Structures are given as C-alpha cells and as structure tokens.
C-alpha cells in the first residue's frame, strides 16, 4: 500500500516542484544569485575602502556607540572577522549578503501587493540594477543594511494592513530598534510611517496597545546607544553641527536633489517607482497602502529640507519599485500585451550592462576614466574634497592604502631601533589611521594615533610625542614646527586616482606633550 501511495504522490510532488522552479520566488532567487556573483567576482578588484578600514578599527573597540554611528555595523564586522578573518573578501561578503537580502524582500513585497511571477521578477530586477544599491552592495557600511531594515518594516506594515493583526507592531518595533542601532536615519522613515497612519484609516492602530508596546521595544533596543550619547555629551550631535559649520558637504537645492534621486536609483526605473507611488495614493487597490506612500513623501521631504545627502532617501524606494511592478504586470495582462514583458526587462538590463563600470568595479581606473570621458559623464560629488579625483569617491577611496602604509613604514624603519620604540605615528583622519592599523602589523608598525572621529576616544597609546611621524601634515609643517624643537619633511605620498595626496613629516623635542594636544584637538568633522 505504501509503494502504491508513493507512486500516486510522485507526479503531484514533481508538478509542485516544477511549479516552484517556474514561480516568481525562483525568479527572485536567480536574480539574487546573479547579483551575489557580481559582488563576489569584483570583491578584490581595487582595494579596501576608507570607511571599511574604520569599521574594522571600530570592530576592535566594541562599544555601544561611536562618534559617527551606532554599534550595529562594527558588531557585524567583529562577528565576521572573528569567524572568517579580516581579508578584503570577507569584508565584502557582508554588504553583498545585505544587498541581496534587500533584493529578495523587494520581490517579496511585489508578492505582498498581489503581484505574480513577472511583477516579482521585475521588482527584484529593478532593485538589483539600481545604481545606489549596486554600489552599496560592494562596500561595507551602514547604508548596506538600511534597505533591508526599512523594507522589512514596510513588509510588516503591509501585513498588518492585510490581516488587521495589530500584534505585528511588536515585530515592527523590534526591527526599528535594530535599525536605530544601525543608522539614525531610520527615524525619518519611522516618522513617515506615523504620519501615514495619522493620515489614513490605519490610524486605528493607535487605539490598540500593540503599537505602543512596539514603540517601547524600539526604545529599549536603542537605549544603550542613547545612553552612550547622553553620557558623552552627544558626540553625534556635535559631529553634525561641525559638519554643517565646516561646509564640507555639497548642499543640493530641491531641483538638484530630485535630479540626483532619479540618477541614483536608475533613470530607466523612474516610471516604475513613480507609478508605484501614484498607485499607493490613487490606485483602487493601492490606496489601502497609502501609509507607505506618505512614509516615502515624508522621508523625501525631511532629507531634502535638511540638505541630507541624496542617498539618504534610497532605502525607501524598493517598496515603490515593488508596487510599480505590480501595476505594470496588471496593465500588461489586462491588455493581453505579453510581448511587452521582455521589453520592460530589457529596458532595465541593457542600460545597466552598458553603464556597469559606473556602479561596479569591472574595469581598471584608467579604463573607467576613458569610459566616462567617452560618454561625457562627470561623477557627482557629495563632499567638496571628492572632486580631487576623476573617479567617484566610492572608487578613489579604495586605492593606495597599503602603498601609503609602506611609505610610512620606510620612514619608521629608517629610525634607530631605540627611537622607533618611542615613535608615535599620527594621522589626520580615520582612513589613514585605519590603514596603519590594518596593514601596519605586516610592516612592523605600532597602532596609529589620530584625533579624528572615534579614534580620539582610543587615546595616544602612552606616547609623549618626543618622536613622532605625522601623516598628512599641511601648511608646510608650520604648526608642527611651532610645537616642536625640530621638524622636517621626510616624505610625500600620492597615488594615481586616489584622494590621498600629502606630505609626511617627522618631529622631535615637543614643546607640548602629546597628551595635552590630544585633550584639545578633538576632530569630529
């Protein structure tokens, strides 16, 4: 009897298996795998990124907060490097996984909105070829997890709208709390959700206890970082004030901000996400999700008014791509225009392949420069200093770090052994310091001393400054000469297409103890 039942069940099981492989979920998995392969094959193409060096340094000083970020990414970096080592490939696996997770959830949101195979695949594809998300998927940073966390919250809201299950606000609160421990910008999206609830019939959620408990859970999860900031007199607030006062960032007017959004996400996906946004406000079936439409509008407005960087809004776009893909699928099916499906796919794929060097390191720096000159494209800059290189900052800041450390090591090892033991290596920013700490053991160098960002908290490692190598000392060393008995330029470093271009100085006989300098020269900018 068992064997007969097995025979009868086998065709049904085979049919179900075939149906899965032909489903929208299978298409999404295929797209995810292709994006993952792109990141794995290009992981070591250039070199380690400035901020990645800093995240590794922070992961070696685990804490509940840092001057410029919450603790989530350093903690994840610590976990991966502890388990698998700190090679560049391991570091690059982290953003690749986070980015692929965001693609998967975008496809799932299309399914939640009522989409079938084509909508799920189109949404995932639009996300997979979006410029900002391809770039984020290559480099470790707090931006990597934003889309995953924001859209996880959005999916929970969709589920609450569809089922009326108010207990799901508990999961929203937990995920929001984790989001706050990753990057504070999730608060803008949370504000958008609250406004969306107040502006729609979903305001009924406030009549139940679950949304309030969810909010409390978010606060509890975020509390350690909040207390860390309070105890240290709000380092992040000081940092933001200093950045604004210094004029470091390039501020965009509203028109420039909007144009950058279109370019950043993918100009060819503009009709898709605009359609998705319109559907949420005016579509017969989409109006029930107007909460998310308001969440996007509020998030967009907040960052535009506050002169936030263009990519701050990026994590809110996937839900619009998903909604737009569903509208596109339904429109095609109603008009029996199935031949348009491959057209929509090609409109996304062909430009992405043609312009891939702009968003993924698939060619050499020299080839990149030739390519941008041929198409008359100048990479946009978000900070004034980034204009020093013909490469975009996400490429230029991957170049030259080990060569810089080798030059510092040459100077360090030219000193007598007894002097080396007393010699501090001071850098001007966390990228240079992170490079010394990352590559330094290979070259026999001590840890770096730096007053920039969280390096200031890690102190001067007992050095007095009686012998000091200063990396990136500007103004012809005038300041160094004022505080030292002897100071001389001992080297210069620059690297093709990199942002680093500076002098290296050596000083002895300090007139001021390094500890006193450390206490007064905190550089949070």
pLDDT of 217 higher than 50: yes
- Report CA-CA distances (Å) from 264 to 130, 367, 402, 499: 7, 22, 31, 22
Confidence check: pLDDT of 189 > 70: yes
Q: What is the pLDDT of residue 125?
A: 98
pLDDT, residue 386, reads: 61
Helix (H, G, I), strand (E, B) or coil at 33: helix
Q: Which residues pair with 313 in a beta bridge?
A: none
CA–CA gap between residue 183 and residue 73 (Å, rounded): 9
The H-or-E segment that residue 468 falls in is strand 467-471
pLDDT of residue 309: 86
Per-residue pLDDT at 383 exceeds 80: no
Q: How far apart are CA 417 and CA 376, in angstroms?
A: 53
Cα separation, 300 vs 279, in Å, equals: 17
Q: Beta strands 501-510 and 484-494: pairing type? A: antiparallel
| 78-82, 265-269, 412-416, 512-516, range with the lowest pLDDT | 512-516
CA distance 132 to 263: 9
Q: Are 248 and 385 in contact (CB under 8 A)?
A: yes
456 — phi, psi (to 5°)?
-60, -40
Residue-wise pLDDT for 111-169, tens only, equals 999 999 999 999 999 999 999 999 999 999 999 999 999 999 999 999 999 999 999 99
Closest CA to 42 of 99, 118, 117: 99
Location of structure tokens 């008359």: 376
- When the pLDDT of each residue in the chain is averaged and rounded to a whole number, the result is 92
H/E run at residue 520:
helix 514-520
What separation, in Å, do the N-terminal and C-terminal C-alpha atoms of the chain show? 76
312 falls in which pLDDT band (50, 70, 90)? very high
Question: Using one digit for the tens of pLDDT, what is the confidence trace for 438-475?
Answer: 999 999 999 999 999 999 999 999 999 999 999 988 77
Give CA–CA dist 269/393, Å, rounded.
24
pLDDT at 387: 66
Instruction: Give the DSSP letter of residue 62.
Output: -
Positive or negative, the Cα torsion across 447, 449, 455, 456? Answer: positive
pLDDT of 512: 87
Q: CA-CA distances (angstroms) from residue 391 to 46, 62, 324, 371?
A: 12, 33, 33, 11
Place of tokens 């692929």: 100
* The pLDDT of residue 18 is above 80: no
From the number of C-beta atoms within 10 Å of its C-beta (0-12, 13-18, 19+), residue 417 rates as exposed
**pLDDT band for position 307 (50/70/90)?**
confident
| pLDDT at position 216 over 70 | yes
How high is the pLDDT of residue 385?
60
Confidence of residue 20 (pLDDT cuts 50, 70, 90): low
Q: How far apart are CA 293 and CA 195, in angstroms?
A: 10
**Strand ordering across the sheet containing 423-427:** 448-450, 423-427, 467-471, 501-510, 484-494
What pLDDT is recorded for position 517? 86
Rounded-to-integer distance, Cα 454 and Cα 471, Å = 18
Q: Which has the closest alpha carbon to 292: 251, 258, 255, 320? A: 320
In the chain, the percentage of residues whose pLDDT exceeds 70 is 95
Tokens at 159, concatenated: 């589920």
Question: What sign has the CA pseudo-torsion 508, 512, 518, 521?
Answer: negative
Tokens, residue 138: 């290559």
Of 186, 182, 183, 160, nearest in space to 171 by CA? 160
Q: What is the pLDDT of residue 111?
A: 96
pLDDT over 80 at 249, yes or no: no
Is the pLDDT at 1 greater than 50? The verdict is no
Lowest mean pLDDT among 220-234, 358-372, 464-478: 464-478
Whether residue 32 has pLDDT greater than 70 = yes
Q: How far apart are CA 393 and CA 91, in angstroms?
A: 19
The position carrying tokens 């999404």 is 28
Q: Are strands 423-427 and 467-471 parallel, antiparallel or unpaired?
A: parallel
Average pLDDT of the segment spanning 327-347: 93
Are 430 and 452 in contact by the 8 Å Cβ rule? The answer is yes
Query: What is the spatial distance between Cα 328 and Cα 280, in angstroms, rounded to a whole number?
Result: 14
- Residue 74 vs residue 336, higher pLDDT: 74
CA 1, distance to chain mean position in Å, is 58
- Cβ 298 vs Cβ 188: under 8 Å: yes
DSSP secondary structure letters along 268-315 = GGHHHHHHHHHHHHH-TTGGGGHHHHHHHHHHHHHHHHTT--GGGGGG
**Mode of pairing for the β-strands spanning 467-471 and 501-510:** antiparallel
Most distant CA pair in the chain, distance? 97
- The pLDDT of residue 12 is 53
Higher pLDDT, 228 or 2: 228
Q: Could you tell me the pTM of the whole model? A: 0.91
At residue 198, the pLDDT reads 97
Residue ranges of domains in the chain: 2-358, 401-520
């Amino acid at each position: 009897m068992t064997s007969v039942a097995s025979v009868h069940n086998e065709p049904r099981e085979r049919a179900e298996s075939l149906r899965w492989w032909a489903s929208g979920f299978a298409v999404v998995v295929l797209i995810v795998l292709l994006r993952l392969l792109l990141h794995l094959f290009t992981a070591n193409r250039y070199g380690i990124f400035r901020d990645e060096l800093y995240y590794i340094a922070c992961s070696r000083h685990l804490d509940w907060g840092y001057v410029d970020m919450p603790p989530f990414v350093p903690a994840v970096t610590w976990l991966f490097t502890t388990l698998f080592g700190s090679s560049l490939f391991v570091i690059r696996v982290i953003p690749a996984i986070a980015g692929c997770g965001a693609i998967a959830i975008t496809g799932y949101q299309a399914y939640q909105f009522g989409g079938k195979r084509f909508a799920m695949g189109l949404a995932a594809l639009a996300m997979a070829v979006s410029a900002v998300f391809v770039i984020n998927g290559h480099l470790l940073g707090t931006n990597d997890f934003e889309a995953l966390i924001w859209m996880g919250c959005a999916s929970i809201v969709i589920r609450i709208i569809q089922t009326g299950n108010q207990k799901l606000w508990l999961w929203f609160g937990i995920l929001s709390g984790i989001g706050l421990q990753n990057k504070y910008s999730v608060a803008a999206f949370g504000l958008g959700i609250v406004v969306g609830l107040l502006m729609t019939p979903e305001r009924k959620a406030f009549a139940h206890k679950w949304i309030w408990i969810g909010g409390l859970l978010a606060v509890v999860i975020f509390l350690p970082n909040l207390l860390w900031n309070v105890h240290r007199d709000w380092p992040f607030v000081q940092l933001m004030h200093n950045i604004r006062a210094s004029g470091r960032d390039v501020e965009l007017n509203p028109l420039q901000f909007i144009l950058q959004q279109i370019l950043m996400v993918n100009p060819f996906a503009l009709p898709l996400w605009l359609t998705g946004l319109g559907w949420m406000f005016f579509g017969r079936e989409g109006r029930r999700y107007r909460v998310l439409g308001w969440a996007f509008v509020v998030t967009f407005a907040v960052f535009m008014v506050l002169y936030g960087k263009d990519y701050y809004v990026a994590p809110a776009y996937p839900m619009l791509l998903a909604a737009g893909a569903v509208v596109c699928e339904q429109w095609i099916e109603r008009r029996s225009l199935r031949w348009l499906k491959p057209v929509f796919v090609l409109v996304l794929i062909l430009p992405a392949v043609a312009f891939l060097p702009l968003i993924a390191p698939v060619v050499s720096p020299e080839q990149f420069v030739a390519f941008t000159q041929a198409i008359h494209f100048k990479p946009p800059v978000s900070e004034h200093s980034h204009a020093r290189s013909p490469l975009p900052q996400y490429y230029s800041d991957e170049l030259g770090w080990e060569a810089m450390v080798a030059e510092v090591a040459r100077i360090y090892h030219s000193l007598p052994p007894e002097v080396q033991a007393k010699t501090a290596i001071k850098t001007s920013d966390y990228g240079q310091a992170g490079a010394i700490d990352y590559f330094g053991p290979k070259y026999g160098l001590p840890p770096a001393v730096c007053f920039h960002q969280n390096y200031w908290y890690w102190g001067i490692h007992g050095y007095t400054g009686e012998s000091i190598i200063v990396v990136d000392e500007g103004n012809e060393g005038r300041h160094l000469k004022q505080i030292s008995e002897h100071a001389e330029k001992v080297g210069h470093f620059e690297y093709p297409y990199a942002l680093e271009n500076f002098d290296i100085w050596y000083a002895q006989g300090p007139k001021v103890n390094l500890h006193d300098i450390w206490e007064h020269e905190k550089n949070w900018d």
